[in-house]
Amino acid sequence: PSHETLVGKSVARLDPGQSVTVDRLGIQNAGGRVNDSSVGFLAITLDDLAIPAIIPVNLTINDLTVDEGTGIGPGTARVQVSLSTPSQRPVSVNYQALPDSALAGDDFLAVAGSLTFAPGDVAKFIHVPIVRDSIAETNETFRVQLSGPVNAGISRGEAIVTIRDDDKARISKIGRAHV
pLDDT in tens, 117-157: 999 999 999 999 999 887 888 999 999 999 999 999 999 99
Quick one: how many helices (H) and strands (E) in the chain?
0, 11
**pTM for this entry:** 0.64
Q: How far is CA 104 from CA 84, 123, 158, in A?
A: 31, 26, 17
Cβ 143 vs Cβ 154: under 8 Å: no
Q: Which of 40-44, 51-55, 113-117 has the lowest mean pLDDT?
A: 40-44
